[in-house]
Structure 1
Amino acid sequence: MTWIAACLCVLVLGMYQIIIGQTLNPDSERKVLGCNVTGEWHSELGSQLQLSAAGPEVRGVYRTAVESARGAAGPSREARVVGVISDGPQPTIAFSVLWAKGSCTTWVGQCFILPGGVQVLKTLWMLRSAAESSMDNWDNTRLGEDQFICARGVESL
């Protein structure tokens, strides 16, 4: 019986040390409780997304690293972002940009927290290029998916 009591005592003391060590150690990793999309995000292709969420609205700037044709995104390859976001720990999000030459792109997806606290936006996108006529309509819509990783953000509490 004393062997079991000694083991329980060691276990309790060990747990106590772990808990106290985490509370007293300012360098210990903070657990992210929910996605916060406000911040800078990078896609797997190198595009940059700067977002700011206020309530259900999202605004920001998108800088593309890719174009369907040279100059299609305009000279700065940058566009303003407008969108909406749901509430909750892993919110859904939809945002759009209007490119300088009249094309528009919309992303819809969700923010997830990966192991280790990394935040990721997993999205599907649709790009609509402006057609010269209804006869040219058939090839002016493209679909795909993007994954954005949070590069710098405001910590979730």
Structure 2
Amino acid sequence: MVQMTSFLLVLSLALVAAGQAARKCVLIGNWTNDLGSTMEIKAVNEEGSFNGTYNTSVSATSNKIVPSPLQGYQNCKKESSQPTFGFTVNWNFSDSITVFTGQCFVDKKGKEVLKTMWLLRSHVDNITDDWKATSVGTNIFTRRLPQKV
């Protein structure tokens, strides 16, 4: 009886681990990053194209911050449960643009996480200021759960 119970426990753990490993990370939905910025990614088509909106919580401008459009692509290889992706945000409130690239992961607890790196290109008035026009950084996004009403 003890051997059978041990066997069933090992089998259950293996099935749980296999189920978590096979869980696909999905870009579609609402996300928040480590700085409090939010984005919504809408449907990803068969070619991997998607769009959405990005609302930043950080900015160097004195202009009113409004949500900005994003456009991107996901690698849609069927065997990839943790796809790579990239998207561009065209900021509505400034003369700058940001490109993000990253990968969608499912962590050990089953949570989806987007690990990203970005380049922000700001407008400068002349080529001698080009050296200060590009910033680089990283962000980690987690899925935002629906608000309870």
When normalised by structure 1's length, the TM-score is: 0.76
Asked if the contact 1:39/1:152 (under 8 Å) is kept, the reply is: no
| Matched residue, 1:129 | 122
**Which structure is larger by alpha-carbon Rg, 1 or 2?**
1
| Matched residue, 2:38 | 48
Percent identity reads 28
| Matched residue, 1:95 | 87
What stretches of structure 1 move > 4 A for 4+ residues in a row?
Answer: none
Letter in 1 for 2:136: L
Asked if residue 81 in structure 1 is aligned to residue 64 in structure 2, the reply is no
Q: CA deviation at 1:10?
A: 4.1
Letter in 2 for 1:82: Q
Asked if residue 7 in structure 1 is aligned to residue 16 in structure 2, the reply is no
**Secondary structure, aligned partner of 1:135:** helix
When residues 149 and 132 of structure 1 are mapped into structure 2, their CA distance, relative to the original with a 3 A threshold, is same
Q: Highest relative contact order (Cα 8 Å, sep 6+), 1 or 2?
A: 1
**Secondary structure, aligned partner of 2:25:** coil
Residues matched between the structures, number = 134
| Matched residue, 2:16 | none
| Matched residue, 2:62 | 70
Moved more, 96-105 or 139-148: 96-105
Unaligned runs of 5+ in 1: 1-5, 20-29
Distance 1:9 1:112 in 2: 35
**Secondary structure, aligned partner of 1:136:** helix
Q: CA deviation at 1:142?
A: 0.4
Distance 1:70 1:122 in 2: 29
